[in-house]
Amino acid sequence: MTILSVTAGSVPAVTAYADVVSGLISLRGVSKTFGTGADAVHAFGPVDLDIAEGEFLSLLGPSGCGKSTLMLMIAGLLPPTVGTIEMEGRSVDGPQTDIGIMFQDNTLVPWRTVRGNIELQLELRNLSVANFRDRIAMLLRSVHLEDFADRHPYELSGGMQQRAAFCQAMVHDPQIMLLDEPLGKLDAMTRESIRSDLQGLWMQQKPTVIFVTHSIEEAIQLSSRIAVVTPRPGRIDQIISIDLPFPRDFDVKNSSAFVDYERSIQEIFRGYGVI
Ligand SMILES: Nc1ncnc2c1ncn2[C@@H]1O[C@H](COP(=O)(O)OP(=O)(O)OP(=O)(O)O)[C@@H](O)[C@H]1O
Ligand SMILES: [Mg+2]
């Protein structure tokens, strides 16, 4: 794996995660092949990766390169064909219930209100809803849904539903969050606004986030590091530390450092033949 350093112009450097040697989450020689014989599809790997506590790591790669497969393996929902995954020093060999997970399609149930959906995550974990009242209120406020807590999902826009799903994924105070293209289906303006909420929540709560996206811009705006994934079978051959201070608002995209990162990453994907 190469650590690529990208010129960050005159922007102050915050390279907190550039030299991660062992992480909260460690992958060693992880690869996944679906099926056997002539039908086998080598989807992902082999990959070594260390993710540090509190970092925001994006997996950026083309469609079909194995990003979701990797997320499912880290969540313990899919076993690797080869290799090991450790979380906080423990081997991941079954579903991880402490973590927060969010996918492109949210998992809100239609018969419960926003609050009811958030509470469902607590009930499934046998946690007392009463102990989490303040946290639910804080989460709803931070994504601007405080006035919609008692509405059902069908009464919300797509963006509002994704915001509610963030609260759902974070309510039990997970230290690790796996977010697989949670903004993929939203329009550009809503995406922008939820990115900002997500960054605010991450800065405030400091969970370790692994975030999947196709968007170079989104990855640069949100991440402390970006793992660039090659076309299938996905391998991580470049890790880029984004040395821009947080919070990164809309205007950061006009900075020369941001544009430099964008060009360098576009160049990488051009090299893979996917741009
Ligand atoms: N359950 C499965 N059975 C067989 N093949 C699978 C399965 N899941 C994924 N694959 C294959 O593995 C490869 C990687 O799929 P994956 O969904 O991980 O890609 P991805 O990077 O998340 O793509 P996208 O960006 O489009 O979501 C694809 O070729 C896909 O066809
Ligand atoms: Mg996917």
Q: How far is the CA of 203 from the centre of ligand 1 (A)?
A: 31
Q: What is the pLDDT of residue 267?
A: 96
Asked if residue 182 lies in contact with residue 191, where contact means CB atoms within 8 angstroms, the answer is: no
Q: For residue 115, what is the DSSP state?
A: H
Any ligand 1 atom below 6 A from CB of 34: yes
Q: How far is the CA of 215 from the centre of ligand 1 (A)?
A: 18
pLDDT at 16 over 80: no
Q: What is the pLDDT of residue 22?
A: 55
User: For 86-131, how does the pLDDT look when each residue is reduced to its tens digit (9 = 90+)?
Assistant: 999 999 999 998 899 998 888 899 999 999 999 999 999 999 999 9
Q: What is the pLDDT of residue 11?
A: 33
Q: What is the pLDDT of residue 157?
A: 93
Going by alpha carbons, the residue nearest to atom 8 of ligand 1 is 69
Q: What is the mean pLDDT of residues 28-53?
A: 95
Give the integer Cα–Cα distance in Å for 93 and 82: 13
pLDDT band with cut points at 50, 70 and 90 for residue 1: very low
Residue type, 118: I
Q: What is the mean pLDDT of residues 147-172?
A: 94
Per-residue 3-state assignment (H helix, E strand, C coil) for 83-94: EEEEECCEECCC
pTM score, two decimals?
0.90
What integer best gives the mean pLDDT of the chain?
Answer: 90
Q: What is the pLDDT of residue 188?
A: 87
pLDDT at 243 over 50: yes
Q: What is the pLDDT of residue 82?
A: 97
Going by alpha carbons, the residue nearest to atom 5 of ligand 1 is 34
Extents of the domains making up the chain:
1-32+42-99+175-258, 107-173
Q: For residue 234, what is the DSSP state?
A: B
Any ligand 1 atom below 6 A from CB of 69: yes
Any ligand 1 atom below 6 A from CB of 250: no
- Proportion of the chain above pLDDT 90, given as a percent: 77
Q: Probe ligand 1: pick from 60, 63, 69, 73, max atoms within 8 Å of CB?
A: 69
Asked if residue 203 lies in contact with residue 246, where contact means CB atoms within 8 angstroms, the answer is: yes
Cα dihedral value 103, 108, 109, 112, nearest 10: 170
Q: Report which ligand 1 atom has the smallest distance to the Cα of 70.
A: 18
Any ligand 1 atom below 6 A from CB of 67: yes
Q: What is the mean pLDDT of residues 66-89?
A: 96
Going by alpha carbons, the residue nearest to atom 27 of ligand 1 is 63
Q: What is the pLDDT of residue 189?
A: 87
pLDDT at 14 over 80: no
Any ligand 1 atom below 6 A from CB of 43: yes
Q: What is the pLDDT of residue 57?
A: 98
Give the integer Cα–Cα distance in Å for 126 and 129: 9
pLDDT band with cut points at 50, 70 and 90 for residue 8: very low
Any ligand 1 atom below 6 A from CB of 230: no
Q: How far is the CA of 63 from the centre of ligand 2 (A)?
A: 7
Q: What is the pLDDT of residue 4?
A: 41
pLDDT at 150 over 50: yes
Higher pLDDT, 198 or 3: 198
Architecture of domain 1-32+42-99+175-258: 3-Layer(aba) Sandwich (3.40)
Q: What is the pLDDT of residue 55?
A: 95
Any ligand 1 atom below 6 A from CB of 213: no
